[in-house]
Amino acid sequence: MLSTPQIVQTRAEQAAIIRLTIPRSEMMKQFGPAVGELMAALAEQGVQPAGGVFAHHLKMSTDTFDFELGVQTASPVQPAGRVRPGELPAARVARTVYSGPYEGLSSAWSEFTNWIKAHGLKQADDLWELYSVGPQSSPDPATWRTELNRPLVG
């Protein structure tokens, strides 16, 4: 289920990130451990998360995800292992919120993309998902909320 999409202007938000380029089939296997690695680096540095975990997809192909796994931070993070300082960009985006389990994200993106096209908007190459309510917050997938953001051009 999607909320009514909106067009919003985001501002740049500092973050801690891990860049991953992985086969799509490896996403479920690598995502959780990378989140653990990210949070451990923040804890070690005494840096507090300032938002939910996100996946900023830079390039997508039929078989590979190239993205930054990250979390907004209250203060800058220092490089540690794969963890680097980064940011969510300032951009004009189409945004909606998907409610439900992660298995429904593909369908949610398809529905959202159709809305964007139907409204004559042109999409940039990147996109990001912000996992505002998920397994870390609730054991019930029906209560999970994922913010979908698609930068726009023109």
Give the mean model confidence (pLDDT) for residues 97-117. Answer: 96
How many angstroms separate the CA atoms of 37 and 10, rounded? 27
63 belongs to a structural domain: yes
Q: How buried is residue 28: exposed, middle or buried, by Cβ count under 10 Å (0-12/13-18/19+)?
A: exposed
43 belongs to a structural domain: yes
1 belongs to a structural domain: no
CA 109 remoteness from chain centre: 12
Q: Would the pTM of this model clear 0.85, i.e. be above it? A: yes
β-pairing, 6-9 vs 92-99, is antiparallel
Q: For all residues of the chain together, what is the average pLDDT?
A: 95
**Which CATH number covers residue 100?**
3.20.80.10
Range of the domain at 97: 6-153
**88 contacts 144 by C-beta, under 8 angstroms:** no
23 belongs to a structural domain: yes
Q: What pLDDT digit, counting tens, does each position of 17-64 carry?
A: 999 999 999 988 999 999 999 999 999 999 999 999 999 999 878 899
The total number of structural domains that make up the chain:
1
103 belongs to a structural domain: yes
